[in-house]
Amino acid sequence: MAAVEYREEDGILFVKFNRPEALNAINREFVRGLRNVVEYARENKSVRVIVITGEGKAFCAGADIKMFSESSHFAARNTIEELGRVLEDMEDLEVPVIAAVNGFALGGGCEVAMACDIIIASEKASFGQPEINLGIIPGAGGTQRLARLVGWKKAMELCLTGERISAEEAYRLGLVNKVVEHEKLIDEAKKLAEIIKSKSPYAVMLVKQAVNRGYKMSLKDGIMYERDLFTISFSSKDAEEGIRAFVEKRKAEFRRDRE
């Protein structure tokens, strides 16, 4: 049984963390599986949106402590470094990634969710960076992404205390986009994926670049970057089709695959 399973269905790549007996904890197989997902999305231009969830009662409860307890310092660093690289590559994918958080998203699991473009949480979900309780700190972007999402004061509190927060609290803080009934989680994620899938793939790619990369720039540089991407989008075939369809009062028919 693979630690990470995935299947493509009509342009949506459904990904499932599949170590429920270990609360989908992160081990080397997990990291390799997530790397395979990223490479599949890169190579298969039919993929328009990715939806990630977990099997069982956890999205991902963090690192496999047993594995790390048996690892040397260098081996532990290599594993967490590779996870960090995979998450950065996932952020840089041309297609949006939706995290459908079904349960615990703790430690590395919270880091995985934060690297996704949109987070939809079940009412049963919880989030946190509890590494401090083990005498360590987050190592795959937890301190950095959390501070950018909820503000550095709240991120400092959460990382220093190791406390978990509920889905509702995560929503209030701006960590998640939406909280839904547990039984409707995948349906809601799929509904959102279908909406995004109906848009211009080229424009979707440029929006993701503008938000993710521009957010790391100064406001002035980000606006200039956005303007450059706007110019690129305006000269695309999708823009030509979208504008023509609007004038002709019909639904735009964007190309299905990314270039």
Domains annotated on the chain, with CATH: 4-197 (3.90.226.10), 201-247 (1.10.12)
Length of the chain: 259
Q: What is the pLDDT at residue 64?
A: 81
| Catalytic one of 22, 41, 63, 155 | 63
| Catalytic one of 55, 91, 111, 188 | 111
Q: What is the pLDDT at residue 71?
A: 65
Are the CB atoms for 95 and 256 separated by under 8 Å? no
Instruction: Give start and end residues of each alpha helix (H) in the chain.
Output: 28-43, 65-69, 73-91, 108-115, 142-150, 152-161, 167-173, 185-197, 201-214, 219-234, 237-247
Q: Which residue has the tokens 């004038």?
A: 247
Q: Is 108 a catalytic residue?
A: yes
Q: Is 109 a catalytic residue?
A: no
Q: Please state the pTM of the whole predicted model.
A: 0.93
| Catalytic one of 91, 131, 188, 226 | 131
Closest to 193 in 3D by CA, of 117, 105, 125, 124: 117
Q: Is 169 a catalytic residue?
A: no
Q: Is 131 a catalytic residue?
A: yes
The pLDDT profile of the chain, 259 residues, written as one tens digit per residue, is 899 999 999 999 999 999 999 999 999 999 999 999 999 999 999 999 999 999 999 999 998 877 766 666 767 778 889 999 999 999 999 999 999 999 999 999 999 999 999 999 999 999 999 999 999 999 999 999 999 999 999 999 999 999 999 999 999 999 999 999 999 999 999 999 999 999 999 999 999 999 999 988 999 999 999 999 999 999 899 898 899 889 988 888 887 555 5
Q: What is the pLDDT at residue 120?
A: 98
Q: What is the pLDDT at residue 257?
A: 53
Coil, strand or helix: which one is 71? coil
Q: What is the pLDDT at residue 70?
A: 64
| Catalytic one of 11, 103, 108, 109 | 108
